[in-house]
Each structure stands twice: as C-alpha cells, then as structure tokens.
C-alpha cells in the first residue's frame, strides 16, 4: 500500500515542473537598455501639446520643438498601452549621437524577448521626416535592417504622423539628436 502511494507521489512531483513550465512565458533574452537614473515622476507635457504650443507661438513660420528621452518614452508607452493588439511593452527611448534607440519587451504567445530598434532620422528633399532602421535585434537574433523597410515606414508614420495632422504644409529643415534630446526645426508653409 505504501509503495503505490510513493510511486504516485513521485509521478506527481515529476509532473509539477512540466505543468509550471506550461503556465510560464519563455524569455529568450536580448539587448538591454543601459542603466540610467530613474526619472522623477513629472507632469511633462505630452508630445502633441508640445507641437501645438510650438506651432501656436510661431510668428514667422519657423517652428522648433525639443523632446527629451523621458517625454518620448512616456508618449510611446501610453500609445502602446492604448492599443490592445500591441505586442511591444515597456519601451525606453534613448537619444544620442544622431540616433534614436528604442528598447522594449516583445511578447508573442508564450514567448518574450528583449528588442532593440536603432533609428536614424533623415529629412527628405520634400521636407518630410523619415526614420530609417539602422539596427534591429529581437532576442539573440540580429536581423538585417534592409529587409525591414516596411517596418521603418510604419515607425516613421507612428512617430511623425502627429506633425502632419497638426500643421498641413509643415516642412522639416533639420533634426538633431544628442545628449538625451531630439530637436526638430522646420517651417510652416
């Protein structure tokens, strides 16, 4: 009687880890954002409001807006949280050396992986801001950036679409990214 009970307990104890694994999400690793001081909780103006204020205050049509890493991080996380189908979570934006680096956690089914997208802002001859993917890494895989032109275009629309809706005829003249800030200078036509 004790022997069958012992065998049943042994089978149950061997099966518990498998049940636990089935209930967990498998993390694949990937790039991690470098540590930075935790930003203070502030009521920073939202990205759309910064654009509206800059456009409203222009006298000669010249518009300059400056965003910080924290403002863009807050904006993107709010935008992603409002989209139920979004698989990207916990985004953190870093701005330096002419590049926009976005770290985040990509979740799909029972898998998750850290992701890094490095974007280079470019100004077209027509005065439109585009974001070209320089680096794309999901988990341990580094993906070829040139194969991701559709994603680059979609990200450009998400991050710069607000400008087009706020000011028809806005032409970007210059974009500078350095030391935790991005400055966009342009003119209203």
Q: What is the pLDDT of residues 139-178, one digit of tens each?
A: 887 776 655 555 566 566 655 655 555 556 788 899 999 9
pLDDT tens figures, 92-126 = 989 999 999 989 888 878 888 898 989 899 998 88
- Across 125-148, b (16+ Cβ under 10 Å) vs e yields eeebbbbbbeebbbbeeeeebeeb
8 Å CB contact between 130 and 121: yes
Reported pTM: 0.75
């Amino acid at each position: 009687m004790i022997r069958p009970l012992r065998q049943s307990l042994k089978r149950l104890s061997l099966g518990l880890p498998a049940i636990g694994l089935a209930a967990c999400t498998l993390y694949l690793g990937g790039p991690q954002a470098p540590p930075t001081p935790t930003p203070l909780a502030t009521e920073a103006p939202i990205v759309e409001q910064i654009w509206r204020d800059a456009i409203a205050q222009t006298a000669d049509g010249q518009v300059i807006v400056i965003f910080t890493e924290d403002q863009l991080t807050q904006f993107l996380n709010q935008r992603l949280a409002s989209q139920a189908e979004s698989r990207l979570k916990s985004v953190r934006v870093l701005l330096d050396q002419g590049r926009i680096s976005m770290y985040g956690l990509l979740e799909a089914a029972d898998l998750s992986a850290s992701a890094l997208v490095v974007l280079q802002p470019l100004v077209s001859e027509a005065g439109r801001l585009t974001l070209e993917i320089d680096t794309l890494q999901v988990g341990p895989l580094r993906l070829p950036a040139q194969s991701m032109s559709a994603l680059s275009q979609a990200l450009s629309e998400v991050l710069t679409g607000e400008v087009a809706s706020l000011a028809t005829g806005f032409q970007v003249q210059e974009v500078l990214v350095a030391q935790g800030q991005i400055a966009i200078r342009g003119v209203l036509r």
